[in-house]
């Protein structure tokens, strides 16, 4: 997570965020783009 934060900071020109602050957005992005998860989520009431 630290390496990911450092790379993101270099790419954006901003300070590296705390690695713990990256967990939620990364999981949200993963869940939103995981086709199987999205399909199952839509099929549940």
Whether the pTM exceeds 0.75: the reply is: no
Asked whether the beta carbons of 4 and 25 are under 8 A apart, the reply is: no
| 20 closest CA partner among 2, 44, 35, 40 | 2
- The CA-based angle 31-33-14, given to 5 degrees, is 85
What integer best gives the mean pLDDT of the chain?
Answer: 91
Model confidence pLDDT, tens digit, residues 32-43: 999 998 888 889
Asked whether the beta carbons of 9 and 15 are under 8 A apart, the reply is: yes
């Amino acid at each position: 997570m630290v390496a990911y934060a450092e790379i993101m900071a270099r790419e954006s020109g901003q300070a590296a965020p705390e690695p713990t602050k990256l967990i939620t957005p990364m999981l949200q992005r993963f869940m939103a783009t995981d086709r199987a998860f999205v399909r199952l989520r839509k099929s549940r009431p």
